[in-house]
Chains A and B, each alone.
Chain A
Amino acid sequence: MLDLNAYKSETKPTWCPGCGDFAVLSSLMKATQALQLEPWNIFIASGIGCSSNFPHFLSAFGFHGIHGRSLPVASGAKLANPELTVIAAGGDGDGFGIGAGHFVHTMRRNLDITYIVMDNQIYGLTTGQASPTSEMKMQTKSTPEGVIEEPINPIALALGAGATFVSRGFSGDVKGLTEILTAAIQHKGFALVDVLSPCVTYNKINTYEWFRERVYRLDKEGHDPSDLGKAWARAVEWPAFGSLRERVPTGIFYQLKGKPTYEDLEPGLRAGPLSKRVAGMKPELGKELLAEFY
């Protein structure tokens, strides 16, 4: 039995006091402990940003890469060794800005990866510029007159790209977030967990209080996550064009169970994990390959 300490890193988080990311870290540790995942079989890839420092604060194998590329690194790792529990983590700028292309393509592939986005609707590490999820009219260092483009709706984007598990958590609800993360890791296929994770330093609009007044839990309203049509209807509640923004749904919007993962379908993996098969070539195969060139 692994206790919670098994997942604790000796490195203390460097996030600002009150940062939403602390709740994500503790929720993920609780989820991995609940699932009794062995830390050495967990691989977490991240990009760049406050939240991308995440792998350092957890006891597991980690890869703290470059900006926007956590998903390709995670994809390569998963394809090379599908036995690992692969998690990608980062912020909204990392995932929906510079990494948006990878986000869409990784979802349509349905690799068995859990993607945690700590979505604070601002660029924190670069001291407060507009992010892809910053709301219209929000004043930031790069938009002193206010944002004049619509924010990305990660939930709708994920549904459109074919993600088989689409969810939203809130750092103000560790219990709910832990449940979502546990289900996301258990889900066989790509799982998006978009976490409303307030930036207490640079986002003075989308604060804990702002969300507390608006969030509600989908499961408490009898939402059926197997219904794609209903998932769409909930997805566009927030953020939406001209929305009154009165209600922000959290929980699992959609889950499609039983769809084969990319790894299941990949012919090159039929003989087992690649990382365990690095070896010289069998002479018969070498001969066979050369024979084609005569």
Chain B
Amino acid sequence: MSKGFVFRIGGAAGDGGSSSAENFARICVRSGLYTFTYTSYQSVIRGGHVWVQVRAAEDPVLSQGERPDLLLVLNQQTADIHATQVRDGGAILMDEAIQVDAAKLATGVRVLRMPLAKIATELGVQQLKNVVALSAAMALLDMDVGLLEEAIRETWGTRKPKALEGNLEAMRRGTAWIAANGGSMKLGIRFSGKRRLLMTGNNAIALGAVAAGCNFFAQYPMTPASSIMHWVASHALECGVVMKQAEDELAAINMCIGAAHVGTRAMTATSGGGFALMVEALGEAGMTETPIVVALVARCGPSTGLPTKTEQGDLNMALGAGQGDWPRIIIAPRNTVECFTESARSFNLADLYQTPVILLSDLYLSEGFRTVEPDALDMNIPIVRGFLADGAPPEGGYKRFKITDSGMSPRAFPGMKGFEYVAGTDEHTEDGELISDVRAGVPEFIEVRRKMHEKRMRKLRTAVKDMHGPEVWPEADAEYTILSWGSSQGPVREAVTRLRAEGASVNSMEFRDLFPMPVALVEKALAKVRASLLVEGNYTGQFGRLLRAETGFKPDFTYFKSDGEPFYPDELVTKVKEVLVRA
């Protein structure tokens, strides 16, 4: 049985809780534990209430877990909200000035009232109280405090010797206090010391893009997509890429279209509101057959909604974005590794099919720090550029939009002599001449329109061969199946594991390649489903509707959640027991 813990830290924005948690998560990974973080934050810069959950264990962890074993309290509000959630036998670490009602706590919860502020005052820097607390937490969990020292040295190193010494002293005071006040929680965790990576989904999306040769990014800031821009901007020079912060999302996507049109690989990233602004340009890219990749990192809508909360509510928008029909590909990575692989793959798909690819993530997947195995990210991505024009221009002139069986036509780039053409958003002929004015409705050109539109849409038929069916885990046959898509994979798998441990025959069917849907593969997988529960993070069951439209399949039960919070394995276990076992 994998041993581990759930560590929760809470305070006001600006208290340093988030950065302490990130440091703590990194230290967990360095100690050899698998780690998963979830940050509950608000749209404020200072004040309010922020809490971070860091779950770590000897074996892989796929969700943020539930109630904390150890709660680090940075302000009174945190104690008021979270103290009662600490598990039996857990611990609460807090400043001596903070009050908790011991009668309301779970059984055997140890309350450690530590002189955090007092120690920090003695050290002359108030911010050091977080270091004191962090080292105390590590001592409670029997973690190697040397890893904290390593992290402190990385931050302050040779840069600020005085700050370094202050931090190290704070660390020593924290561990000494725990030693003198009852010692560790004796959880008996084995720390393998094997080092793995810790990154967010957005880190992985950005890495996948640069590994796939994308060297043009244009973006407008929007939570929770902004950290893609931040990572790219801070690595632009070493990677030789341009990261353009645009004046708005309209500019961001149109810059990508311009850059991709002349031959580079381009990406923009945004959340629902920004994506809504990009809709017209997506059709522009579809019509001009320009390959671009748009990362849509969904947050809780509608409208401004809850900007710091999660939801899988933008699938309908991705499916329906744009006037008329144009071929699009929608991929929803299910975990951090797939954020990398699918981001990279999106560029090859975009080039192959000469059309936009929408990489559909969400706040939960994109912002959470998760452990990644060292060999899981292969940075050596094969670059597939699709149908390119080369050599001399053909007799009778180059036809950028040549009608083909596959739907794809040879791409030439500005700078290639003899291949001059115009890419138009108006309907056009094979060589790019528009047919929207003096030719519209003339019989010959009704036919041109029909053929050209069919050619573009035919790309979907070709692309479907590159789409993968759902993954069924851990085995193909089970009495009950939970269906999910994208980021819900982790919590669903943990729920399945727990149910199976209790003897239930349950498996998980997880969709990633959403559109064009590989109907034959999906139907084959669905044929084995006996009783099913569809789990989605939105109100209307957007994926369920797509699945039904494409295959006629209707799940027996549904569990839709759109309160801004991620799925917790516990609630899924409860739901499954309630509906499936009864079925």
- In the assembled complex, B104 has its CB within 8 A of some CB on chain A: no
Measured between beta carbons, the chain A residues less than 8 angstroms from B198 are 293-294
Which partner residue on chain B sits nearest A77 by CB separation? B258
Q: Which residues of A sit under 8 angstroms from B420, Cβ to Cβ?
A: 39-40, 59-61
Stretch at the interface among A202-210, A229-237, A249-257, A272-280: A272-280
- CB-CB < 8 A to B252: which residues of A? 72
Query: Whole-angstrom distance between the alpha carbons of A72 and B195 in the complex?
Result: 44
CB contacts under 8 Å to A, within B418-469, are 418-426, 433-434, 437-438
Contacts of B426 in A (CB 8 A): 64
B113 at the interface (CB under 8 A from A): no
What residue of chain A has the Cβ atom nearest to residue B369's Cβ?
A293
Contact status of A75 and B255, CB under 8 A, knowing A281-B210, A283-B379: yes
Q: Are A66 and B380 in contact (CB under 8 A)?
A: no
Q: CB of A3 within 8 A of chain B?
A: no
State A9–B70 Cα separation when bound (angstroms): 73
Cα separation A27 to B110 with both chains bound (whole Å): 84
Interface: A55 (CB within 8 A): yes
Chain B residue nearest to A67 in the complex (CB) = B280
Interface string of B287-330 (1 = CB under 8 A from A): 01000000000000000000000000000000000000000000
In the complex, A83 Cα to B262 Cα: how many Å? Answer: 11
Residue of B199, B385, B419 near A293 (CB, 8 A) is B199
Q: Give the complex CA separation of A271 and B254 in angstroms.
A: 24
Closest A residue to B433 using CB positions: A11
Structural contact, A268 and B381, CB atoms closer than 8 A: no
The residues of B that contact A240 with a CB separation of less than 8 Å are none
> In the complex, are the beta carbons of B197 and A278 less than 8 A apart?
no
Interface residues of A in 257-294 (CB under 8 A from B): 266-271, 274-281, 283, 285-290, 293-294
Q: How far is the CA of A61 from the CA of B211 in the complex (A)?
A: 30
Q: Within 8 Å CB of A293, what residues of B?
A: 197-199, 203, 372
Within 8 A of B (CB), among A44-80: 45, 48, 53, 55-56, 59-66, 68-69, 71-80
B254→A40 contact, CB < 8 A: no
B496 within 8 A of A: no
Q: Which residue in A56, A101, A286, A290 is a CB contact (below 8 Å) of B424?
A: A56
Report the minimal beta-carbon distance from B243 to chain A, rounded to whole angstroms. Answer: 7
A41 at the interface (CB under 8 A from B): yes
Contacts of A267 in B (CB 8 A): 236-237
CB-nearest residue of chain B to A269: B242
B414 A277 Cβ-Cβ under 8 A: no
B141 cross-chain contacts in A, Cβ below 8 A: none
Q: Decide: A69 near B263, CB < 8 A? Known: A274-B216, A283-B379.
A: no
Which A residues lie within 8 Å of B196 (CB)?
Answer: 294
A68 to B254, CA, bound (A): 10
Q: Does B257 interact with chain A (Cβ within 8 Å)?
A: yes
Q: Are B235 and A289 in contact (CB under 8 A)?
A: yes
Select one of B218, B381, B423, B424 contacting A76, CB under 8 A.
B218
Q: Cβ of A81 < 8 Å from any Cβ of B? A: yes
Residues of B contacting A105 in the complex (Cβ-Cβ under 8 angstroms): 246-247, 251
Q: How near does chain A come to B381, taking the closest CB pair, in angstroms?
A: 6
B254 close to A72 (CB less than 8 A): yes
**Does B352 sit within 8 A of A, measured CB to CB?**
no
The answer for the CA separation of A72 and B284 in the assembled complex, in Å, is 13
Interface check B241, CB cutoff 8 A = yes
Q: Is the CB of A43 within 8 A of B414?
A: yes
Contact with A along B72-101 (1 / 0, CB 8 A): 000000000000000000000000000000
Minimum CB–CB distance from B277 to chain A (whole Å) comes to 11
Q: Within 8 Å of chain B (Cβ to Cβ): is A201?
A: no
Q: Chain B residue with minimal CB distance to A98?
A: B250
Would A84 and B414 count as touching, CB distance under 8 A?
A: yes
Residues of A within 8 A of B246 (CB): 72, 105
**Smallest Cβ-Cβ distance to B284: which chain A residue:** A66
Q: Which residue of B lies closest to A73 (CB)?
A: B258
Cα A55 to Cα B432 in complex, Å, equals 11
In the assembled complex, B244 has its CB within 8 A of some CB on chain A: yes
A71 to B218 Cα, complex, angstroms:
14
Chain A: which residue is nearest B207 at the CB level?
A289
Query: How many residues of B sit at the interface, in one of the four size bands?
Result: 35 or more
- Do B263 and A268 touch (CB < 8 A)? no
The answer, among A53, A73, A278, A283, for a CB contact under 8 Å with B385, is A278
Q: Mark A100-111, 1 if CB is under 8 A from B, else 0.
A: 011011000000
B239 near A: Cβ within 8 Å? Answer: yes
Considering the complex, give the chain A residue whose CB is closest to the CB of B200: A293
Any chain B CB within 8 A of the CB of A38? yes
Contact of A69 with B250 in the complex, beta carbons under 8 Å: yes
CB distance from A56 to the nearest CB of B (A): 5
Q: Which residue, of B262, B417, B419, has the highest number of chain A Cβ atoms within 10 A?
A: B262
A14 is an interface residue with CB less than 8 A from chain B: yes
Please give the distance in Å from B343's CB to the nearest CB on chain A: 13
List chain A residues, Cβ under 8 A from B13: none
Which residue of chain B lies nearest to A108 when distances are taken between CB atoms in the complex?
A: B247
A275–B424 CB distance below 8 A: no
Kindly supply a per-residue 1/0 record for chain B positions 361-385, scoring 1 wherever the CB is within 8 Å of any chain A CB and 0 otherwise: 0000000000010100101111101
The minimal Cβ–Cβ distance linking B164 to chain A, given in whole angstroms, is: 21
- Taking CB atoms, residues of chain A closer than 8 Å to B374 are 290
B438 touches A14 (CB 8 A): yes
With CB as the reference atom, state the residue of chain A lying closest to B240: A271
8 Å CB contact of B262 from A59, A60, A81, A271: A81
User: In the bound complex, what is the Cα–Cα distance between A278 and B426 (angstroms)?
Assistant: 29
Contact of B216 among A14, A76, A104, A287 (CB under 8 A): A76
| B36: min CB distance to chain A, Å | 15
With the chains together, A60 CA to B238 CA distance in Å? 34
* Chain A residues whose C-beta falls within 8 Å of the C-beta of B437 in the assembled complex: 14, 53
User: Which residues of chain A are within 8 angstroms of B248 by Cβ–Cβ distance?
Assistant: 101
Residues of B within 8 A of A69 (CB): 250-251, 254, 281, 284
Given A55-B422, A266-B242, residue A40 in contact with residue B417 (CB < 8 A): yes
B280–A66 CB distance below 8 A = yes
**Known A68-B250, A76-B258, A278-B265; 5 more pairs at CB < 8 Å:** A14-B438, A40-B420, A75-B258, A275-B264, A283-B380
**B residues in contact (CB < 8 Å) with A:** 29-30, 195-199, 203, 207, 210-213, 215-216, 218, 235-244, 246-248, 250-252, 254-266, 280-281, 283-284, 288, 372, 374, 377, 379-383, 385, 413-426, 433-434, 437-438
Q: Give me the interface of A with B, judged by CB distance under 8 Å.
A: 11, 14, 38-43, 45, 48, 53, 55-56, 59-66, 68-69, 71-81, 83-84, 101-102, 104-105, 266-271, 274-281, 283, 285-290, 293-294
Which 3 A-B pairs give the minimum distances between C-beta atoms? Answer: A76-B258, A286-B379, A72-B254
